[in-house]
Structure 1
């Protein structure tokens, strides 16, 4: 596929500012796809007696900016490698929209900027990509022979949806969570976000791009990577490279480091901003070795994996996001509407239906609290990527356990209300029968909904 709409922005170069340890830092700008101007920093050794190897560095998911890669970039620059880090585009890349093909072309625009520098050796110019960046980097490498090598850290071999689901599983298992909540997060919530169009590029398959990569590859994972499933991802990527006829790859697992090869004090589940003292040594040696000969296929033994990543099939009719939205609207009308109409009746001096009132009140209260509490807690856990679930008791987050108890109470109240309504329906006025019937209907619809979301499962 041809690269279009990308070119280096010709602007006066910012003066090089002295960086720590004899490095220079130059602020640069270049144009990505669609004319979007991207801003970055080139770190290089102050001494430029000869052209040096260089890498464009692609950050992981989100828009954390070039500061996210600063420690790694400095480590490479101290070892004689010129680095470009840049702020990812915000136009066309956000929570609900992203395109790895566009990000790949942005990276190639950065590569052209580096290629134009006098201190860069075009024959030793490559890409370094972290996590989500490793979805885009193989696409870029397959599109341009100017990319002479590819280095990845924490590359994901399966779809983003499967990786996200497995990451949730890892974090929940680490927190001591088991049972229905794990399935809700690992499968149900991911499927629903895909179906609702809230998970961009969810089913992107990176393997075809890897199969088109012809350059030497250094693919690395931390031994304590809890996000990219190193064992499964490395196997997928290796098979893709073999399928494409590329035998010049090194698959490496780095001991005692996490997803981004940084130091960890919690088995890979933390985010410490510290790199090992030897960070960059292996990469620099590997790049230097390319001058003499291309590497033969080399694969380290992979760390164990708790469970294979899931696969995601199209949603069944009962999983339609519109159907679930309709159920939630029904719950609001039924559960919240009952006490509101009761308040209006009292304001007008009317009394309710004494034989049914107690169970109906319980149903309205427990149903409303359960559905509202479930939505709040689910969105909270999704927002924290399952890294914060609160206290855990008997294998369940306490908040989830409370919601399950309330869900059972809602079912009991539904049965009591339905039986009471049926028993006394002839004694009730039509408006009372209508609002109690609506309340009971909400309770009946609650049962399959709560079962689907795991609230009524162990």
Structure 2
């Protein structure tokens, strides 16, 4: 059953996105050597990651250093096979602050939209740490990890497993499960379009749960706080004030709480007003990423790394977090009655019951047999119930496929017009179900046995439809 849910949702999601499911065995792309920026050296390296996969990277380092320098491995955000050049700006600026920096091509083998493992990515990151520690001119006792976005889950996990990691830096990082962060991300896009109410608070959130149930949301409930409790190294957290992907106000207190529970007070939190998710400048409030780093960000990293690796670690140094437009919501796994299994059963019932009623009537008419309907309301129940059930999943799939730039349609009172139509159909289906049940009961003695089965299936679907529609927000303002 779970496999069936997964296959159906995967195919529909891929159709809406216009893509095929990503291959878990696709080879990682390789990059040409990166020329050394002025004042720096550039050297290509290779190392072994999870499963024996060979990964390739480049080390940028100060050209003239009187003594071995600290080092940092940059762990990028989500996406399969992200090339090392994606973090070239960060690598160049950090290296100019006296730090050797390793950037590498992210794996695509074993990583796709629907399958990823932070544990495996952590093994890759530790392989990179080992490669950087072995480089001439790098102090092996002063090599740490920097993680952006998804890397903000991976870097602390790697650090919690190895004393070879001297420090941790997270940028746009999360101390919350990925499902909570992602739902906040998608909600933010809809709220910017003027949407509020049940589509966000029920439709989107429960759809994310369903995806996790079906195995389409990899690492959905990853225990980020549990990992941070095991981190003993100094940690620098950086967030942009216009981060539209990660809640910049909710996360720092979660980081502090988890680190303190583990006895670690060696952390620094800093916030850059006007910067985006990656602490880059942004021309439009976080929607578009500029090429340059936020002013002062690279200086902060350089100074902090030198201090943290020279016997001057921070002590619970946290500035006031940036304000975010709305709070994120904790999201738990689906209860049994709303699980993927139960959703599939309910949906199958709707399709069979709501489709069977008009089909039986059509077959009878073609055969020249007519049976007076118990109630005209039954037709409305079948039509409105099926349309609203199918329409809900199609509409939410459409919004999901749009990513950070959804077009929900015209918005009236916080509700998109397509959502209002679906809600109207749901209300009509409920009203028609009640009227059909009443009419059936009044005429029960005169209804033929075959018609009783047909009506019984339809009314049963109508009864199940009510709590289902409430759960998905179709019957909630």
Superposed pair shares fold, TM > 0.5 = yes
**Aligned twin of 1:181:** 199
Deviation at 1:202, TM superposition (A): 2.6
In the superposition, relative to structure 1, how do residues 355 and 45 fare at CA in structure 2: closer, same or farther (>3 Å)?
Answer: same
**Aligned twin of 2:14:** none
Give, in whole Å, the separation in 1 of the partners of 2:243 and 2:178: 16
Give, in whole Å, the separation in 1 of the partners of 2:36 and 2:435: 73
Per-residue displacement from partner, 1:344-379 (whole Å, max 9, x unpaired)? Answer: 3333333353564x4333222212211111011122
In the superposition, relative to structure 1, how do residues 426 and 24 fare at CA in structure 2: closer, same or farther (>3 Å)?
Answer: farther
Q: Is the Cα–Cα contact under 8 Å of residues 250 and 295 in structure 1 kept in the other structure? A: no
Matching of residue 73 in structure 1 with residue 91 in structure 2: yes
Q: Is the Cα–Cα contact under 8 Å of residues 154 and 221 in structure 1 kept in the other structure? A: yes
Tell me which moved more, 296-305 or 385-394. 385-394
How many residues were matched structurally?
Answer: 444
Matching of residue 445 in structure 1 with residue 464 in structure 2: yes
**Aligned twin of 1:351:** 370
Matching of residue 296 in structure 1 with residue 289 in structure 2: no
Q: 1:18 aligns with which of 35, 56, 63?
A: 35
Matching of residue 162 in structure 1 with residue 180 in structure 2: yes
Matching of residue 109 in structure 1 with residue 127 in structure 2: yes
**Aligned twin of 2:70:** 53
Give, in whole Å, the separation in 2 of the partners of 1:239 and 1:435: 58
Deviation at 1:222, TM superposition (A): 0.9
In the superposition, relative to structure 1, how do residues 418 and 174 fare at CA in structure 2: closer, same or farther (>3 Å)?
Answer: same
Question: Residue 147 of structure 1 aligns to a residue in which SS?
Answer: coil
Structure 1 residue runs of 5 or longer lacking an equivalent are 1-12
In the superposition, relative to structure 1, how do residues 404 and 24 fare at CA in structure 2: closer, same or farther (>3 Å)?
Answer: farther
Higher relative contact order (CA closer than 8 Å, sequence separation 6+): 2
In the superposition, relative to structure 1, how do residues 438 and 14 fare at CA in structure 2: closer, same or farther (>3 Å)?
Answer: closer
**Aligned twin of 2:153:** 135
Tell me which moved more, 334-343 or 394-403. 334-343
Question: Residue 18 of structure 1 aligns to a residue in which SS?
Answer: coil
Deviation at 1:199, TM superposition (A): 3.1
Q: Is the Cα–Cα contact under 8 Å of residues 275 and 294 in structure 2 kept in the other structure? A: no
Q: Is the Cα–Cα contact under 8 Å of residues 281 and 294 in structure 2 kept in the other structure? A: no
Deviation at 1:26, TM superposition (A): 4.6
Q: Is the Cα–Cα contact under 8 Å of residues 214 and 246 in structure 1 kept in the other structure? A: yes
Give, in whole Å, the separation in 2 of the partners of 1:291 and 1:422: 79
Deviation at 1:172, TM superposition (A): 3.3
Deviation at 1:235, TM superposition (A): 1.6
Equivalent residue runs for 1:26-425 within 5 Å? 26-44=43-61, 51-63=68-80, 65-66=82-83, 67-185=85-203, 187-268=205-286, 270-276=287-293, 278=295, 279-290=297-308, 292-297=310-315, 298-305=317-324, 309-313=328-332, 315-353=334-372, 356=375, 358-385=376-403, 387-391=405-409, 392-425=411-444
Give, in whole Å, the separation in 1 of the partners of 2:182 and 2:265: 29
**Aligned twin of 2:7:** none
Question: Residue 75 of structure 1 aligns to a residue in which SS?
Answer: helix
Question: Residue 71 of structure 2 aligns to a residue in which SS?
Answer: strand
Question: Residue 239 of structure 2 aligns to a residue in which SS?
Answer: strand
In the superposition, relative to structure 1, how do residues 303 and 437 fare at CA in structure 2: closer, same or farther (>3 Å)?
Answer: same
CA-based RMSD: 3.0
**Aligned twin of 1:9:** none
Give, in whole Å, the separation in 1 of the partners of 2:197 and 2:154: 36
Question: Residue 106 of structure 2 aligns to a residue in which SS?
Answer: coil
Q: Is the Cα–Cα contact under 8 Å of residues 338 and 439 in structure 1 kept in the other structure? A: yes
Deviation at 1:48, TM superposition (A): 7.1
Q: Is the Cα–Cα contact under 8 Å of residues 240 and 277 in structure 2 kept in the other structure? A: yes
Question: Residue 57 of structure 1 aligns to a residue in which SS?
Answer: strand
Give, in whole Å, the separation in 2 of the partners of 1:217 and 1:131: 15
Give, in whole Å, the separation in 2 of the partners of 1:454 and 1:112: 51
Q: Is the Cα–Cα contact under 8 Å of residues 280 and 294 in structure 2 kept in the other structure? A: no
Deviation at 1:94, TM superposition (A): 3.3
Q: Is the Cα–Cα contact under 8 Å of residues 399 and 408 in structure 2 kept in the other structure? A: no
Give, in whole Å, the separation in 1 of the partners of 2:343 and 2:431: 22
TM-score (norm 1): 0.85
Q: Is the Cα–Cα contact under 8 Å of residues 102 and 132 in structure 2 kept in the other structure? A: yes
Question: Residue 108 of structure 1 aligns to a residue in which SS?
Answer: helix
